[in-house]
Amino acid sequence: MSMTTTSRQQHAIGEAAALNPAACLFHGFSDPHRLAILQHLSLGEHRVVDLVAHLGLAQSTVSKHLACLKDCGLVSSRPQGRASMFSLNHTDALMDLLSAAERLLALTGDAVTLCANHGTTSHGDEVQ
C-alpha cells in the first residue's frame, strides 16, 4: 500500500518534529565557548568568576552561555555565599557524546570546518 503525497508530507513533518529536541540540544553545543565551559566544568564545580578567568571572556558572556547550558539541562547551579557554583548534569552521558563527536571529527577531517553553511572558512575565524 503506497502513501499519498499528503501522507508522506505529514510523515516527514512528524519525523522532523520528533528530531526537534535533538536539534535544540545540538544547538546548545554550537558555540565553541559553551563547549569550553562544558569541558572546564568536567573538571568539577566552578564559579562564574573562575570560568571568566579561565576563558578570558566577559562575565556577561560567560553568564549568557551558562544560562543557555542551564536551559538545555546540561548544567546546574547551587548557591554558595553570594556566588553560584556551576556543575555538569549527566556528566557521563555528556562526556560520551563529546568523545563520539571527537571520533566523528577525526573521521571527517576538515570537512566540517569547510562547510559552506557552518564552517570557519565561510565566516572568517567565527564559528556559527
Q: 573521521: which residue's cell?
A: 107
Identify whether 114 is part of a domain: no
| Residue, of 120 and 28, whose pLDDT is higher | 28
Q: What is the pLDDT of residues 94-107, one digit of tens each?
A: 999 999 999 998 89
Q: How many domains does the chain have?
A: 1
Identify whether 12 is part of a domain: yes
The pLDDT-based confidence of 122 (bands split at 50, 70, 90) is very low
Identify whether 52 is part of a domain: no
Q: Which domain holds residue 9?
A: 1-30
Angle at 123 between CA 121 and CA 128, to 5 degrees: 110
Identify whether 9 is part of a domain: yes
Identify whether 79 is part of a domain: no
**Which phi and psi angles does 78 have, rounded to 5°?**
-140, 145
Helical H segments across the chain, by residue range: 5-28, 32-41, 48-55, 59-71, 91-108
Identify whether 13 is part of a domain: yes
Q: What is the pLDDT of residues 23-38, one digit of tens each?
A: 989 988 999 999 999 9
Identify whether 92 is part of a domain: no
Identify whether 16 is part of a domain: yes
